[in-house]
A and B are shown apart, each in its own frame.
Chain A
């Protein structure tokens, strides 16, 4: 059993909480310096190179075309080259 007075225990918990918070902030500060996003592999979001129900990557807000009429581009969430006519489960129409 812990027989330390309550205020000592509270201080100890507070110190650990501050320590954990500090570690998180440090991790974030280091992480924020790297520009690379943590993208998802294609397979994890069931990416396919053809549309589904009329939805296609070219109409998705995460898609960045390689050029105006380029058939491929990149995605803000999914790794690799993305087909303009592709689709994945993260599809979100441009507003």
Chain B
């Protein structure tokens, strides 16, 4: 038994005890994250239910995380109190404890399901999140992976923000320096902040995903301006490059042998049209975003020809928010054109070019800001590419070489306190790695990967 495993078990037991103690505590919530301590706002002001942002949350992010309440008195360096002067250091923490049950493990290797049916400390994160100085703020996360027993940098978004207001003008603008395309976005349709907000890290996942759908996170660094014109039109452009050399802090602790290595700078764009009406009760958005990446297929040998990934997306969001009832819907379509000159030349891809399309949609309802339910549908389709999508082994293989996968997610949430989320999530696959039955060529069916996931998510 490794030291890491023993530590994990001990920390899990301590954390479970802490959860029980917190649940039994009758006092109102005081321990909320750094944004709430800085502004004095309740979590539910900025979040429909965290992490999904409301109009107030979007304004806070546009303002570079710098909004701070005016309170007299000496500011402490560190504090867990929401009331009183905000602390000088905007520190916060997050703990995720989970249990995963996968429908069937028959015919697979035990190492494929390292923590099936077992409680685990899934993730522990520390945040520096809030104002740094006038016009400067940051959301910076460092995470410990309780499965891999390894810690590394997580999402980073450092901002400069300002606002130009005149008689007939209102432009909120700024600059963002971040390490994950779409992490700077203010809507919950794009991959970095899209549903599911948490999922099992030990359950089987389909082989295919577009590059912008998490494939570059914590591997690249991007810089660019953004602006919200007249609280209606949001625009952002940025250039992303490999987070190496002077920027290596943006991928600190990650696996350099698999981290994406880009050729030059990849342009990212974002345009969204939003409307808020009836005193903020309703809001809607329709938008587009994308990235054009040239990537070396071998991260350890970034020379020679590259593969090009052109990702373009359409998204839409609607939110209805009152004290008692909260509803939201998000839609997201991504189309990826892969020009695989390098991979096809080396035999790592069967075709010189491929197309991958992903659709995601979800609806969420919360009653009394405490009880919530979400229903989501996901689908990825594309042309078959045996070298790209078929590992040739049980569980992860795709006998047809097809990237297709589809299914739905049902999630129930209960927030006994504003800073504690308890969730039960069921993911059902109708197609997995190309087929509903015998998808890997070794007799495994898509539904065998159906996953039941319990989560206790605590913010401090």
A46 touches B280 (CB 8 A): yes
Collect the chain B residues with CB atoms within 8 Å of residue A53's CB: 322-323
- Please, how many angstroms separate the alpha-carbon atoms of A1 and B279 in the complex? 55
Q: How large is the interface on B (under 10, 10 to 19, 20 to 34, 35 or more residues)?
A: 35 or more
Interface size on A, residues (CB 8 A): 40
A62-B248 contact, Cβ under 8 Å, with A39-B67, A41-B163: no
> Shortest Cβ distance from B17 into chain A, in angstroms?
29
A46 touches B276 (CB 8 A): yes
Collect the chain B residues with CB atoms within 8 Å of residue A17's CB: 249, 252
Residue from the list A9, A40, A89 in contact with B280, Cβ < 8 A: A89
B68 touches A44 (CB 8 A): no
CB of B45 within 8 A of chain A? yes
B88 touches A2 (CB 8 A): no
A40 touches B40 (CB 8 A): no
- Please, how many angstroms separate the alpha-carbon atoms of A36 and B244 in the complex? 38
CB of B59 within 8 A of chain A? yes
Residue from the list A16, A37, A61, A87 in contact with B68, Cβ < 8 A: A37
A38-B249 contact, Cβ under 8 Å, with A1-B302, A24-B128, A77-B39: no
- Please, how many angstroms separate the alpha-carbon atoms of A1 and B300 in the complex? 7
> Shortest Cβ distance from A16 into chain B, in angstroms?
5
A28 touches B133 (CB 8 A): yes
> Shortest Cβ distance from A7 into chain B, in angstroms?
14
B133 touches A27 (CB 8 A): yes
CB of B103 within 8 A of chain A? no
- Please, how many angstroms separate the alpha-carbon atoms of A70 and B68 in the complex? 25
A77 touches B69 (CB 8 A): yes
CB of B70 within 8 A of chain A? yes
> Shortest Cβ distance from A15 into chain B, in angstroms?
10
B70 touches A28 (CB 8 A): no
A45-B71 contact, Cβ under 8 Å, with A1-B302, A38-B134: no
8 Å CB interface, A23-44 against B: 24-25, 27-32, 34, 36-41, 43-44
Collect the chain B residues with CB atoms within 8 Å of residue A12's CB: 248
> Shortest Cβ distance from A55 into chain B, in angstroms?
9
Collect the chain B residues with CB atoms within 8 Å of residue A40's CB: 59, 63, 67
**Hey, which bits of chain B sit against chain A, CB under 8 A?**
28, 39-42, 45, 54-56, 59, 63, 66-71, 75, 88-89, 128, 131-134, 136, 138, 163, 165, 170, 172, 231, 244, 246, 248-249, 252, 276, 279-280, 300-302, 322-323
> Shortest Cβ distance from B298 into chain A, in angstroms?
11
- Cβ contacts A to B, 18 pairs, < 8 Å: A1-B302, A13-B252, A16-B248, A32-B88, A36-B70, A38-B131, A43-B165, A43-B231, A45-B56, A61-B40, A74-B70, A77-B39, A77-B41, A77-B67, A77-B70, A89-B45, A90-B41, A92-B42
> Shortest Cβ distance from B364 into chain A, in angstroms?
19
CB of A48 within 8 A of chain B? yes
A27 touches B40 (CB 8 A): no
CB of A20 within 8 A of chain B? yes
CB of A66 within 8 A of chain B? no
- Please, how many angstroms separate the alpha-carbon atoms of A2 and B131 in the complex? 35
A44-B41 contact, Cβ under 8 Å, with A27-B136, A30-B133: no
Collect the chain B residues with CB atoms within 8 Å of residue A9's CB: 248
Collect the chain A residues with CB atoms within 8 Å of residue B131's CB: 31, 38
Name the residue on A nearest B128 (C-beta).
A24
Collect the chain A residues with CB atoms within 8 Å of residue B41's CB: 77, 90, 92
A62-B40 contact, Cβ under 8 Å, with A43-B165, A89-B56: yes
Residue from the list B42, B56, B70, B323 in contact with A37, Cβ < 8 A: B70
Name the residue on B nearest A64 (C-beta).
B70
Residue from the list A45, A52, A87, A92 in contact with B59, Cβ < 8 A: A45
> Shortest Cβ distance from B281 into chain A, in angstroms?
9
- Please, how many angstroms separate the alpha-carbon atoms of A39 and B300 in the complex? 48
- Please, how many angstroms separate the alpha-carbon atoms of A10 and B43 in the complex? 37
Residue from the list A20, A32, A36, A39 in contact with B75, Cβ < 8 A: A32
Name the residue on B nearest A39 (C-beta).
B70
Collect the chain A residues with CB atoms within 8 Å of residue B172's CB: 44
Collect the chain A residues with CB atoms within 8 Å of residue B42's CB: 92
